[in-house]
Structure 1
Amino acid sequence: MSFPFIEHVVWLHSTGAAWAARQRWRGAAVWHGQQNGEPLGACAHILEQAPRGRVRFLDRATVLLGFPHVHYLMLPWQPGLISPSDWQGFAQASFEHQAGFDPEGWQVQIASGGFGYDRLAVAVSRELLHDLRELFKLHRLPLITCTPLLTAVAQQYWRKLPDDCVLAVSESESLSCLYRQHGALHQVCVLPTQPGSDLSDNLFTADLLAQEHAPTTLVVANRPTQSRLGPLHPWLEELHE
């Protein structure tokens, strides 16, 4: 590729990393790369092969953090919490109490929500985020965003979802479900799965764990499957773990 700048999408999953790169014009071919192993090592390996533009500092990268690199909690509405810092403290305390996380070691973010609604909180290892930034900096590839896969998928497909449904994101060793009720997020459930396991069985298990049952299930996965809404990311359509 000889285009001045190239966009990169990197998906970190349970067994390694998947990579897609494309020149920044509509209809350009997508370059794909995959590598098994721990996430940083896998990224470093593909970085040596990934195409770069002629003006490297104009290249851009987005990292999607899949299972098991992100942890999720649904925070119930708290009328006594007023400011964003109040919610931040509540989220950190919830992760510490329910998952045993040391608040100093995890970066916690909360999805915005309307008054009176539950809110989704995510936690990512600060060490992983720091190491990823340093790795991309070393290779002079600007890392624009490092985003939880589940929230990125929800943003991508949100307008296509019915008000009452479950959005199920299927990876080879996990199933992540967001339950939507009356147009708002209501519950989240993430469970490890066996490779090649039956999707309907995993969805049934998720419903039991979340104590939810939505009338409509929409699945986001790179592989063709029942009730499939689309791929994890348009450029990752042809990639499988």
Structure 2
Amino acid sequence: MSFPFIEHVVWLHSSGAVWAARPRWRGATVWRAEQAGEPLAACAELLAQAPRGRVRFLDRASVLLGFPHVHYLMLPWQDDLHRHTDWQGFAEATFSQQAGIDSEHWQVQVANSSFGRDRLAVALPRDLLQDIRELFKLAHLPLVSCTPLLTAVAQRYWRYLPEDCVLAVPEASGLSCLYRHSGAPSQVCVLPTRPDSHLSDNLFTADLLAQQQATTTLIVANRPVSPWLGPLHPWLEESST
């Protein structure tokens, strides 16, 4: 690709990485490649292969962190928490109590929400985030974001979802589900899955664990799976050929 600058989207999952790159204008061809192995090493392999623009410092990259690199939980509304820092502390304490996650080693983030609504919180491993930043820095490829996959998918498709549904993101060894009730997030569930398991069985298990009963299920994956909503990212969709 001989273009001034190129955008990159990278998905790190449990057993490797998927990379897509495209010049920054509509209709351009997407370069796509996959690499199996330890996720960070796989990312480095693809980074060495990925096309770069003629003006490299104008290139941009976004990373999506899939299962099992992110922990999620839904924080119930608290009347006595008024500032974002209050919610941050509440999230860190809840992660510590429920999952044994120490904020010294995990970066905890809390989403904003309307008054009276529960809030989604995520925890990202600080060591992995630092390694990703260093990898891209050494390659002189500016990293603009490193986002939890379920969060990125929800932001992409939220306006297309019914008021009450479950947004499901199956991966090779995990399933992430975000439940929506009356137009707002109500619960989140992430569980490991076996390669030979059926998606319908895993969705049923998620409903039990989350104590939710979704009337509508919408699936986001890189290949069509009924009832399919779309790919993780338009550039990451697997070719049907």
TM-score normalised to structure 1 length? 0.98
Secondary structure at the counterpart of residue 104 of structure 2: helix
CA displacement 1:67-89 (0-9 Å, x = unmatched):
00000010000101111000000
Mind listing any 5+ residue stretches in structure 1 that lack a counterpart?
none
Instruction: Return closer, same or farther for 1:41/1:217 CA change in 2, 3 Å cut-off.
Output: same
CA displacement 1:125-163 (0-9 Å, x = unmatched):
111111100110000000000000000000000000010
For these two proteins, the number of residue pairs brought into alignment is 240
Name the counterpart of 1:223: 223
The whole-number CA distance in structure 2 between the counterparts of 1:28 and 1:123 is: 35
The whole-number CA distance in structure 2 between the counterparts of 1:208 and 1:136 is: 40
1:165 correspondence with 2:160: no
Secondary structure at the counterpart of residue 150 of structure 1: helix
The alpha carbon displacement at 1:239 in A equals 6.6
CA displacement 1:6-64 (0-9 Å, x = unmatched):
00000000101100000111111111111111222111111111000000000000000
Mind listing any 5+ residue stretches in structure 2 that lack a counterpart?
none
Contact 1:88 1:110 in 2 (8 A): yes
Name the counterpart of 1:101: 101
Contact 1:74 1:186 in 2 (8 A): yes
Secondary structure at the counterpart of residue 117 of structure 1: coil
Contact 1:59 1:141 in 2 (8 A): yes
The whole-number CA distance in structure 1 between the counterparts of 2:210 and 2:239 is: 29
1:131 correspondence with 2:131: yes
Name the counterpart of 2:10: 10
Secondary structure at the counterpart of residue 50 of structure 2: coil
The whole-number CA distance in structure 2 between the counterparts of 1:46 and 1:65 is: 16
Secondary structure at the counterpart of residue 187 of structure 1: strand
TM-score normalised to structure 2 length? 0.98
Identity %: 73
The alpha carbon displacement at 1:194 in A equals 1.2
Name the counterpart of 1:175: 175
Secondary structure at the counterpart of residue 41 of structure 1: helix
Secondary structure at the counterpart of residue 134 of structure 2: helix
Contact 1:75 1:120 in 2 (8 A): yes
Contact 1:18 1:239 in 2 (8 A): no
The alignment's C-alpha RMSD in Å is 1.1
1:37 correspondence with 2:62: no
Name the counterpart of 1:59: 59
Contact 1:32 1:239 in 2 (8 A): no
Contact 1:153 1:232 in 2 (8 A): yes
Letter in structure 2 aligned against 1:81: L
1:143 correspondence with 2:136: no
1:189 correspondence with 2:189: yes
Secondary structure at the counterpart of residue 179 of structure 2: strand
Secondary structure at the counterpart of residue 48 of structure 1: helix
The whole-number CA distance in structure 2 between the counterparts of 1:79 and 1:223 is: 42
Name the counterpart of 2:74: 74
Name the counterpart of 2:25: 25
The whole-number CA distance in structure 2 between the counterparts of 1:28 and 1:192 is: 36
Structure 1 consecutive aligned stretches of length 4 or more whose deviation exceeds 4 Å: none
Secondary structure at the counterpart of residue 159 of structure 1: helix
The alpha carbon displacement at 1:196 in A equals 4.0
Instruction: Return closer, same or farther for 1:239/1:46 CA change in 2, 3 Å cut-off.
Output: farther
